Every structure is written in C-alpha cells, then in structure tokens.
Amino acid sequence: MTIGPTPRAASAWDWLTGKHSKRSVTWLLLGPTIALSCIGVVMVLSASSVEFIGGAGSFSSLTSQGVYAVVGIAMLFWMKTWKRQTYRKLAVIFLLVSIVLLALVVFTPLGFEINGGRRWIRVAGLSFQPSESAKLAFCVWAAYALNEKLKTRSYGKDLLIPVVLPFGGILVLLILLGKDIGTVLIMLTIIAAILYLAGIRTIYLLGTGIIGLLGLVVMAMQSGNRMMRVDAWLGNCDHPADPSINTNKVYSR
C-alpha cells in the first residue's frame, strides 16, 4: 500500500509551489490576475449597462473598461521584467505620490463625488481613482520596508511602525475622508495580511479587526447611499432616485 501522495499528485504540488520551476509561480500569479480583470469588466458592464440604455448604448462601458483592462495587463507583463532593485528604488516614490493624489481628491476641487463617495480625481480631462494605485503602491512599499526592518528587528509589535503608523494609517484616513468604505476594508485587509505574513501575532490582528469592522458598520449605517443599496438587495426596490440599483438587484440574486 502506498503511503503519501501519488507521484502525479506530488508532481502537481511541486508545480504549484514552484519547487522545480519559477515559471509555474509566475503563471499562478498572472492567471488569477488576468481572470479577475476579465470578470471585473463583465461585472462593470452588468452594473452600468442599464444606465446607458437609450444613450451611448448598453455596451459603451465595455469599450472603455476593456481598453483599460488591456492596457493594465500589458503594463503587468512589462513590469514583470523589472528587477527587484527597481521596485526598491521606486517603492517610496510610489507611496508618496499616492498620498499626495489622495490628499488632492479630498482637499482640492480636483476631486469629485460620485454615488456618495469622493474617490475620483480629474486631471487634463482624464478621471481615475488614486485609491486603486495606492493599494498597489502600499503593497510594494510595505514589502520593502519590512524586509529592511527585519534585518535589525525581530518579528513582533515593532513591525507596526512604519507599516501601520504612520503610512498605513494616513492612507486609510484619507480614503475614509472620501467616504469610500469599500476601499477602506480592502486596505485594512491588505495591512492585516502583510503584518500576518511578517509574523505578528494573530490575536492582535483579530482584536483590532473586530473593532475596525464595527466602526465601519456604524459608518455605513449613517450613509443614505449605502443603506439604499442594502435595502434594494434585501428586496426593497422602491428607489426611483437610482433605478440602476433596482435593476442590478436582479443580477445580485
């Protein structure tokens, strides 16, 4: 009787973990990224098509979002060729630029509000969400910062600085001021995942996570726009101010 995984299963596991080839790990990262990008374009089309009926056309958002997805994937393959030293040199610059852009969204006329959240910025006729690039910039910078700090410090609470304070806290605060609760949740999850992988005790993460989640729930309950979406999902479709919420409720089911 054979004890342990079969040779085929062991070979598949070695491929998944990149034991024999770094190429397998590369495609394990690229595959889900490309798949999620395609799924995201379809979901945006589903959510916005009803708003463009009789206007630009139900599939107008597919063109713009599809172009952005293709450009993003092309940049992904280009950045894959960068050396590690390049990321280290650019990590701090990316982070500081992200903080400046988020501040411009919140405190200057360049930022504007859509659906109850001030998360967009318009420059030279081009609009985008700085919080999206801030997530990537923070991941790259935090990996670099922790790598440098672990050379002189042990695993533990010392890792909270500077990942959580000040830079993680600044990003979360600026996004929170823009009333983008969804991105705040994602940022908090990223921070928790980075600290967990760096070796901080799980009990600290669970305690702060529960407190933060309760605070975000209270904030969401005070937002009329978000409660309207929750009501529509629960079956209350009488929202003439935003008919797309009513229509998209069908898709969410």
Query: Is there a contact between 58 and 47 (Cβ–Cβ < 8 Å)?
Result: no
pLDDT tens for residues 33-59?
889 988 988 888 887 776 666 666 667
Secondary structure, 3-state, 59-88: CHHHHHHHHHHHHHHHHHHHHCCCCHHHHH
pLDDT tens for residues 118-157?
888 988 777 889 999 999 999 999 988 888 887 777 666 6
pLDDT of 223 strictly over 50: yes
> Where exactly are the structural domains of the chain?
10-81, 84-217, 223-253
**Ranges 2-16, 36-50, 165-179, 218-232: which has the least confidence:** 2-16
Angle at 40 (CA atoms; ends 177, 100), nearest 5 degrees? 30
User: 10 Å Cβ neighbour count for 251?
Assistant: 11
pTM: 0.75
Query: Is there a contact between 139 and 190 (Cβ–Cβ < 8 Å)?
Result: yes
How distant, in Å, are the alpha carbons of 65, 71, 133 from that of 79? 21, 12, 14
**Ranges 47-61, 73-87, 234-248: which has the least confidence:** 234-248
Give me the count of residues in the chain.
253
Name the packing angle between helices 202-221 and 181-198 (round to 10°).
180
